[in-house]
Amino acid sequence: MDSSGRCGATGVLFVRDVVTMPIGSAAHRHPRHAIVIASGGLDSTVLAYWLAARGAELTLLSVDYGQRHRVELEHATDIARLLNCPQEIIDLSALGRLLAGSALTDAEMSVPDGYYTDKSMRATVVPNRNAIMLDIAVAMAVARKADVVAFGAHAGDHAIYPDCRPEFVERFTRSVRTANEGLLVDEFEIVAPFLTQSKTDIVRLGAALGVPFERTWSCYRGEAEHCGTCGTCTERKEAFEQSGISDPTRYRAV
């Protein structure tokens, strides 16, 4: 990516040292075309910038699953515009009605405050969310002959979200290879380069890549500003503090 923010550009990389750093399984090659699950959040945005800097053509995939923080989708659209990449928004809003019991899709449930390691955070699990979104992304990869599906799960997610663990990605990849045998391009892989990285690592990488953090959205409450106290706001604040990178986010509660 060059200073104009072009995606998949062939221009000189101005963050060469960072973008060539080995992270996870993607270290051995540079993807040609990646379908990136893009929520508009910090992790998936850094992931998109990282892939763009590696020269990949990107298609951003955003999913409306009836989440209360639907505002994040506008941020994903913003990021797509900045990267000059196509974005597909899939409307699964009706799904939210079926997922009663999750604080992210059930208006009757309140969003808990605290840390991801807190038991109360189980209320923010959305049943089978990553498998649902990855399945759509893989189907797009088949149709468009993309060689990579990428998503931004990271080590801090493991405590609460079972579908953000390396064993899930490994087994899911085996499943989709079987389900789409002869249809996926040979070199196809699911890339989740942050699985063993902390959010602090992701913030540092994003800063080096020039990611516009202020254009990303994390808060589960989805109000006018980040609340500053829900699980993802807490993690976001901590990541900036620990990384030593200035946090441009406006939080309601300080």
227 in contact with Zn ion (CB under 5 A): yes
- Which residue lies nearer to Zn ion by CB, 188 or 220? 220
Long-range contacts of 101-109 (CB under 8 A, 24+ apart): 102/126, 102/127, 103/68, 103/220, 104/67, 104/68, 104/69, 104/220, 105/65, 105/66, 105/67, 105/68, 107/68
Q: Which amino acid appears at position 90 of this protein? A: I
219 in contact with Zn ion (CB under 5 A): yes
For every residue of 45-101, DSSP letters joined together read HHHHHHHHHTT-EEEEEEEESS-TTTHHHHHHHHHHHHHT--EEEEE-HHHHHH-TT
233 in contact with Zn ion (CB under 5 A): yes
Q: C-beta of 73: minimal distance to Zn ion in Å?
A: 16
- Which residue lies nearer to Zn ion by CB, 106 or 135? 106
Q: Which amino acid appears at position 126 of this protein? A: V
Q: What's the alpha-carbon Rg for the chain, to the nearest Å?
A: 17
- Which residue lies nearer to Zn ion by CB, 37 or 219? 219
- Which residue lies nearer to Zn ion by CB, 11 or 248? 248
Backbone dihedral angles phi then psi of residue 113, each to the nearest 5 degrees? -90, 155
* Residue 102 and residue 123 in contact, taking contact as beta carbons nearer than 8 Å: yes
Span near Zn ion by CB under 5 A; candidates 30-38, 127-135, 226-234, 238-246? 226-234
Q: C-beta of 253: minimal distance to Zn ion in Å?
A: 9
Q: C-beta of 65: minimal distance to Zn ion in Å?
A: 18
230 in contact with Zn ion (CB under 5 A): yes
In the shown chain, the binding pattern of residues 114 to 153 toward Zn ion, with x for contact by CB under 5 A and - for none, equals ----------------------------------------
Q: C-beta of 252: minimal distance to Zn ion in Å?
A: 8
- Distance, in Å, from the CA atom of 29 to the CA atom of 31, rounded to the nearest integer, reads 6
Q: Which amino acid appears at position 228 of this protein? A: G
Q: C-beta of 227: minimal distance to Zn ion in Å?
A: 3
- Which residue lies nearer to Zn ion by CB, 137 or 233? 233
Q: C-beta of 249: minimal distance to Zn ion in Å?
A: 10
Q: Is 131 helix (H, G, I), strand (E, B) or coil?
A: helix
- Which residue lies nearer to Zn ion by CB, 87 or 234? 234
Q: C-beta of 216: minimal distance to Zn ion in Å?
A: 13
95 in contact with Zn ion (CB under 5 A): no
239 in contact with Zn ion (CB under 5 A): no
Per DSSP bridges, beta strands 148-150 and 57-64 are unpaired
Residues near Zn ion (CB under 5 A) are 219, 221, 227, 230, 233
